[in-house]
Chain A
Amino acid sequence: MAFAKIKVTAQIRLETGLHIGTSNAFAAIGATDSPVIKDPITNLPIIPGSSIKGKMRILLARVYNTKLAEKPGEDGEIISRLFGNSSDKNYKVGRLIFRDAFLTNKKDLDSRAVKGYTEVKFENTIDRITAEANPRQIERAIRDSIFGFELIYEVTDKSQAQVEEDFKVILDGLKLLELDYLGGSGSRGYGKVVFEDLKANTVFGNYDVSRLNELLTTEV
């Protein structure tokens, strides 16, 4: 009976400002039009696990799905087994568990005398006929913030033979994320992220991760 849990950790570093929006209901009055999502306790920006999971899934679906899937429920076998598929009885729950990424380098940013952990970027729209500007403000988590990324992969009897294959898919996902963006307004430069210090270690049960660590260090 093989049962183990492998934890993949990394640092997500922002190369450009990141905007993951949230509902306006809890933002302070007089704040920007579109606030970023923050941790309610510390009031620092976070990257929700659901954002990473959703983005990674849609990027991988373009690569690994054999036919065009209109809904997540129609995803192919490889995507379903990693991310879960509520309409397939074998993969009601996927093998991956993402986690919210919290800001880890607050001290370092403080020492570099940043004003706040988010910036407000002013942009505008120019009307093509009247040339009139229509300004807007967008909040972003600042460049060089580092977030602690964590991912749990579950090794069971079913997945034992496919661990390396799955890790290649996860790696492709991380690579695609670096070539794409996280959060909103990515086509105008927001949300370029880099994964650093990628490591896998077994946190429960017995599984030799040396082979996986080789994969992780060579490929990214």
Chain B
Amino acid sequence: MTYKMYIMNFQSAHFGAGTLDSSKMTFAADRLFSALAIEAKKMGKMEEFVSIAGQDHFVLTDAFPYQSGPLLPKPIGFPKFDQPDLTTDVKEVRRQAKMAKKLQFIPLDKFDSYVKGTLFEDEEHAVTNIITKNQPHVDGNLFQVSTVRFRDDSSLYVIANESDLLNELMTSLQYTGIGGKRSSGYGQFDLTILDLPDSLKNRLTKTHQEPVMTLTTSLPVEKELEYAMETGSYLISKSSGFAFGTETNENYRKQDLYKFASGSTFSETFTGHIVDVRPLDFPHEVLNYAKPLFFKMEEER
């Protein structure tokens, strides 16, 4: 059980948010998992990788920014406004609410103070811009690609359980890239593997009966779903799109899958699973990674 931080230093990337002309700054674990699986298939290590991924100790998290230290997603539903502070002006309260809404990621050392109610401005990690491209001499073939250009001191990191195969796949993935429009040069990165800082490592959990925040866009198994939805504060994120396969000439769409976005908070942990979202009568399985890793909301005393 050695968790490591895989820090990926991107120059420019396209992580589509459902369309070509939109791009998110980070990506969910399923995107990385699928990229690793395809990479493994080219090496002929597909079965090995899928069997490792199916084991309990394998974890992946979504990508979060890394800027001189790891950042975490904003815990949904926090800070709790139980007792409204009557001394402050209503205008000020609204201004702070807007600020909290815009905040996406929180540095690790400020996490606990945020939960208690301290607000701060989000730092800028990347610039999103839209590039117009065309196919010359063809009428109406204009399209726009949204790209994310990371600042020089910003990278993304994922937490994963170190294994030789994963290191090999990640090393190879540097040159293939991750995200959209890879063959035009988006999404390649430089990899560094670091140990986790203790303050983060001690709070990662998969079995914990206290309030937790998920670090992976994940989906509980059927029998836990109801309880998780009753007691949690969550956002739903849709993952869908075309299934990539080399055995059909046509492109088929995957089954839509709705999951809890990273940063969702629950009263206790659940176990996720890897969902098969293959289109009807598709020749091979299409796996969507939805196993969570949690972060304890409260420090151990």
Binding site for B on A (CB under 8 A): 1, 3, 5, 7, 22-23, 25-26, 37, 39-41, 48-50, 53-54, 83-84, 86-90, 92-94, 96-100, 102, 150, 152, 154, 156-157, 203-205
Chain A residues with Cβ under 8 A from B249's Cβ? 87-89
Contact of B133 among A50, A84, A88, A97 (CB under 8 A): A50
Q: Does B216 contact A (CB under 8 A)?
A: no
> Cα distance A154–B184 when bound, in Å?
15
> Cα distance A98–B130 when bound, in Å?
19
Closest chain B CB from A197 CB (angstroms): 19
Given contact pairs A5-B172, A23-B130, A49-B185, A154 touches B42 in the complex (Cβ within 8 A): yes
Given contact pairs A7-B175, A89-B249, A204-B172, A97 touches B183 in the complex (Cβ within 8 A): yes
Residue of B nearest to A41 (CB): B149
Number of interface residues of B (CB under 8 A): 37
Chain A residues with Cβ under 8 A from B42's Cβ? 3, 154, 156
Chain B residues with Cβ under 8 A from A152's Cβ? 175-176, 188
Given contact pairs A25-B130, A41-B149, A93-B183, A1 touches B44 in the complex (Cβ within 8 A): yes
Q: Are B129 and A40 in contact, with the CB atoms below 8 A?
A: yes
One of B60-68, B114-122, B240-248 contacting the partner: B240-248
Given contact pairs A26-B130, A152-B176, A53 touches B251 in the complex (Cβ within 8 A): no
Chain A residues with Cβ under 8 A from B44's Cβ? 1, 3, 157
Q: Are B152 and A41 in contact, with the CB atoms below 8 A?
A: yes
Chain B residues with Cβ under 8 A from A49's Cβ? 183-186
Contact of B185 among A23, A40, A89, A98 (CB under 8 A): A98
Residue of A84, A92, A154, A156 with highest tally of chain B CB at under 10 A: A92
Contact indicator per residue, chain B 176-204, by CB within 8 Å of chain A (1) or not (0) = 11000111111010000000000000000
Chain A residues with Cβ under 8 A from B183's Cβ? 49, 53, 83-84, 93-94, 96-98
> Cα distance A37–B145 when bound, in Å?
13
Q: Are A50 and B175 in contact, with the CB atoms below 8 A?
A: no
> Cα distance A97–B133 when bound, in Å?
18
Q: Are A22 and B131 in contact, with the CB atoms below 8 A?
A: yes
> Cα distance A203–B173 when bound, in Å?
11
Q: Does B55 contact A (CB under 8 A)?
A: no
Residue of A nearest to B132 (CB): A23
Q: Are A26 and B185 in contact, with the CB atoms below 8 A?
A: no
Q: Does B127 contact A (CB under 8 A)?
A: yes
> Cα distance A26–B146 when bound, in Å?
13
Q: Are A98 and B151 in contact, with the CB atoms below 8 A?
A: no
Chain A residues with Cβ under 8 A from B144's Cβ? 23
